[in-house]
């Protein structure tokens, strides 16, 4: 998985930094993990991710309390990723403040904060 940090601008968003991580490492090594972020192979920041995996059955029981239990599929799972905080070293703005946002990419899908 890839996590990227961009500076939102009117014309185009500037890449501040990005990093990659394995989902298995986030889930098996505890629920939170700092991911190093780089720009042009130099450290540019880090982000604290929190991961939680739960079966669809448990998730649906919480969300759809009145649903018939025979309709639940225990072989599927839901992954919840939360960006807890980020510390950025690289600044893309010469004047003013950055407007950073994070993006997590999983295969072809992108999720933006």
The C-alpha atoms of residue 52 and residue 12 are separated, in whole angstroms, by 33
**Per-residue pLDDT at 38:** 96
DSSP string, 9-71: -SS-PEEEEEEE--HHHHHHT-SEEEEEEEETTEEEEEEEEEEEEEEHHHHHHHH-TTS-GGG
Residues 54-102 have pLDDT tens digits of: 776 666 666 566 655 555 555 667 777 888 999 999 988 888 888 999 9
> Is residue 17's pLDDT more than 70?
yes
The C-alpha atoms of residue 88 and residue 99 are separated, in whole angstroms, by 12
pTM of the complete model = 0.74
**Per-residue pLDDT at 92:** 86
> Is residue 19's pLDDT more than 80?
yes
Q: For the chain, how big is the Rg over CA atoms in Å?
A: 17
φ, ψ of residue 69 in degrees (nearest 5): -65, -25
Residues 34-45 have pLDDT tens digits of: 999 999 999 999
């Amino acid at each position: 998985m890839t996590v990227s940090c961009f500076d939102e601008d009117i014309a185009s968003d500037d890449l501040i930094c990005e990093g990659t991580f394995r989902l298995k490492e986030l889930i098996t090594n505890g629920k939170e993990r700092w991911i190093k972020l780089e720009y042009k192979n130099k450290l540019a920041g880090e982000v604290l991710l929190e991961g939680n995996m739960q079966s669809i059955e448990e998730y649906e029981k919480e969300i759809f309390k009145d649903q018939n239990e025979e309709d639940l599929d225990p072989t599927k799972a839901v992954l919840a990723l939360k960006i807890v905080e980020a510390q950025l070293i690289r600044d893309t703005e010469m004047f003013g403040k950055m407007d950073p946002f994070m993006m997590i990419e999983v295969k072809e899908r992108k999720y933006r904060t």
